[in-house]
Amino acid sequence: MAWDPTQYLRFESQRLRPAVELLQRVRDDAPARVVDLGCGTGNTTALLTDRWPGAHVVGVDNSSAMLAVAEHDHPDGTWVQSSIDQWIPDAPFDIVYSNAAIHWLDDHASLLPRLVAHITAGGTFAMQVPDNFSEPTHQAAIDAAREGPWAEVLGPLIRPWPVLQPVEYTRLLAPLCAGVDVWATSYVQVLTGDNPVAQWTKGAALRPYLSALDDDAADAFFADYAARILAAYPPEPDRTTLLPFRRVFVVATVH
């Protein structure tokens, strides 16, 4: 699947806010080793470096396109190309942080304990994932994928939503951690421009579908999707468009 850093960064400030709010809940004062899983273009990794300038901070991502931007924008950073579920560090980390990435991986019930196993005693696991699968942003993509001439190609790419309920993350991590803090926030994003919700999704949730089609088919699929989204998220009288966006946060202190 190909990521498009430019499209992703069109909504950079809105996408960064939950990353900042997640980081504010991490209490560690002086971690020695910090990792950003699914670091993308390195924006979230830079937040970690700014917060803990004395730490060794590593960004991990499996997209060469996203890492190329990270390396260009942050040449002093340490970047590792790996899938999160294949990632095996050579030494444990004091903080494993991940913003808007772990929902791209399945089976959180087995993945999260494996990630927590890479954290030092007293260290922190901090994760934020979207929880918007039932919203039109995602359901319209599934409908468009199933109903167009591309259905044979896109149908198999429709995946079950892996994000658990907040209480399930608490139950999952409680036996492994001294403290587990889980919460959800629903942001109302006020967007500008023509059909901005379709543009937002084009930078993230639509990537698997767009990457699987040739350019003409991808354009046609996006036009079909964008029409559905415009109907679901019409502009307000002041020409802004409102996008409700729920996210789940987990901050856990490891035994």
Ligand X SMILES: C[S@@+](CC[C@H](N)C(=O)[O-])C[C@H]1O[C@@H](n2cnc3c(N)ncnc32)[C@H](O)[C@@H]1O
Provide the binding-site residues for ligand X, judged by CB under 6 A: 3, 15, 19, 38-40, 43-44, 61-63, 66, 83-84, 99-101, 104-105, 204
For ligand X, the closer CB: 62 or 224: 62
In the complex, minimum distance from the CB of residue 238 to ligand X, in angstroms, rounded to a whole number: 28
In whole angstroms, the minimum distance from the beta carbon of 175 to ligand X comes to 25
The whole-angstrom separation of Cα 142 and Cα 229 is 12
Nearest approach in angstroms of CB 180 to ligand X is 21
C-beta nearest to ligand X: residue: 40
What CA dihedral angle connects 145, 99, 125 and 114, to 10 degrees?
Answer: 30
Q: 108 with 235: CB under 8 angstroms?
A: no
Residue among 55 and 224 whose Cβ is closer to ligand X:
55
**In whole angstroms, how close is the CB of 163 to ligand X at the nearest point?**
13
Name the burial class of residue 251, with classes exposed (0-12), middle (13-18) and buried (19+) by CB atoms within 10 angstroms of its CB.
Answer: buried
Three-class secondary structure of residue 43 per DSSP: helix
Between 44 and 224, whose beta carbon lies closer to ligand X?
Answer: 44
Compare residues 104 and 221 and give the one whose CB is closer to ligand X.
Answer: 104
In whole angstroms, the minimum distance from the beta carbon of 159 to ligand X comes to 12
User: Is the CA virtual torsion 163, 128, 107, 3 positive or negative?
Assistant: positive
Edge-first strand listing for the sheet containing 241-254: 78-81, 56-61, 33-37, 93-99, 119-130, 241-254, 177-191
Which C-beta is closer to ligand X: that of 35 or that of 100? 100
